[in-house]
Chain A
């Protein structure tokens, strides 16, 4: 016999409270895991109760930020069930559904590999497919494997579901190409293009025929205005685009958001071309969910960083900026953004090799630390693979007397605080949680589940 849904939810909520009392973290996945154990089908039924349905956001990079932007846009008018702390497996979605008592709309960022199952359970009204980059090959396998999972999932979506996809990613654009309800977004500003493709670019070869793609403009990794000279396949014409991109140091980026609902100038209080992509994905999805253009602009301009994603804190008598770095494409964009300011930098880099980080740390060699090396005034490496990180920097050209290895994160933070001044903290996923936990104990940041609430 199955327990009534209300009883299951009550148990799951109680578990979340206990987890927080016990100091074991945000309890962000515990209630979902419990509910999942009690009754896997409860997720489907909880999602079905949302009067406005659900929207899913997936991508290798930017899903937490994109979903947080959509939340900022929609929140004034809509009560959301949103897994804002980044718990993005089925259990995390279940937890968000449990926690949101009277939500109207579900807004879930979803792990790339978990997307097919989550989509099957929540029957979304919209799905955003942001990008596919190589990431944690020991966990996800090769890119093609994720793309195949997405293709199968899209083929099974009902006709009423809208896809919101990045036209600039040829692999993403090969998914659901002839689907009727399909909104494409992409950059449309050749002045923001890179001079050449980056080393670790993925998806260089035509998905259809294997020839090398030609680009009118490359904006980030393999994202850009692409076409195949051999078979003629080309970027779908995006209907939501960014033009006139203007960077403003590390504080903001401005652009003209062009949509079928009209054009508007946006000043996004986050740096980097990658955040323009996140903003475009968020704008396209929010418009699809019924937001007005002015609401989109206001939400994006009100946005502050998602936790650990260009999050600024007072530390060591200066400002410390926390930056999540978890794969080559994301790392290269962070470095490109930081390197735009040529001043010497004080840094801390935390490299862990736990399961959620990927146990294989070889990806750090595909990140262009060479580009940052001349600007590194001093760097402290910490985490389970601190020495590996230090060695990587040595081979990138950082002088040995500028590199310090402190495996222990508290020691590393003490050393950074003693040095004083402003700093940049780069960390992998679990290393970011570790660092934030220690900053929280020092009273410098709020726990992420409180801040997010």
Chain B
């Protein structure tokens, strides 16, 4: 049986915004299609296992500091895995860790893994609220992405680095440039939680498709009954528009 593997980094530290909902969305949507699924928890001190997709969630500031040093070990292995076709999905604090650093108000820096050319700086006000984006992955037609953002960090992408989508309602990366998140090949980072994947089934399926592709299989997936998902998305979009 076909099976995809997700390496879940620091699930006990980075789980504040219901990150397990993202894992559940991937797992169920594979199961409903007869695709096997395995999530491997990667804790402090563990080696990076081989996986089709790596997941990095968000944590409280204190919990994030506890793993900041440990994650540096994975910078090179993760880059190699991505070069080999693996995907990365990083949300909230995990998204910030993808970049070069997070700079606090006092100029103190927490280093990231530098997988993507981006930096984050502490802002003076938290950006909190429902958010809606328009995304165009792989040049496909625009897809709607909905969720909730809650971050004080302001993230700036390097020259030529593409955001995940354009903000229709909400703040996005920094409240200024209209971009939200980042997409670089199979690497996606975003502030959108809620959690991210259940209400945006197209993105779950994009990630599953990429994982299948890495194994040399067809990334086209049979459709599922997504009426509840799309209704939840419609309601979230209407609330974001208010």
Which A residues are within 8 Å of any B CB, using their own CB?
Answer: 134, 137-138, 141-144, 199-200, 204-205, 210, 353, 359-366, 384-388, 390-392, 394-395, 400, 403, 405
Contacts and interface: CB of A to CB of B under 8 A. Distances in A.
Contacts of B126: 141
Contacts of B62: 142, 144, 205
A137 B24 contact: no
B235 A387 contact: yes
B40 interface: no
B20 A360 contact: no
Nearest to A141: B126
Given A387-B231, A391-B198, A391-B229, A360 B60 contact: no
Contacts of B24: 365, 395
Contact of A395 (B13, B21, B193, B236): B21
Contacts of B236: 388
Nearest to A212: B12
Contacts of A384: 235, 239
Contacts, number: 91
Contacts of A363: 18
Contacts of A390: 228, 231-232
Contacts of A403: 228
A365 B239 contact: no
Contacts of A359: 129-130, 148
Contacts of A143: 60
A365 B195 contact: yes
14 contacts: A134-B16, A141-B126, A142-B16, A144-B62, A200-B15, A204-B12, A205-B63, A360-B193, A362-B195, A365-B195, A387-B235, A388-B236, A390-B232, A403-B228
A366 B17 CA distance: 8
A318 B126 CA distance: 47
A8 B14 CA distance: 50
A385 B194 CA distance: 12
Contacts of A142: 16, 60-62
Given A142-B60, A210-B66, A364 B231 contact: no
B8 interface: no
Query: Which 7 A-B pairs have CB atoms at the shortest separation, nearest pair first?
Result: A365-B21, A365-B18, A387-B231, A362-B18, A387-B232, A360-B148, A391-B228
B75 interface: no
A137 to B, nearest CB: 6
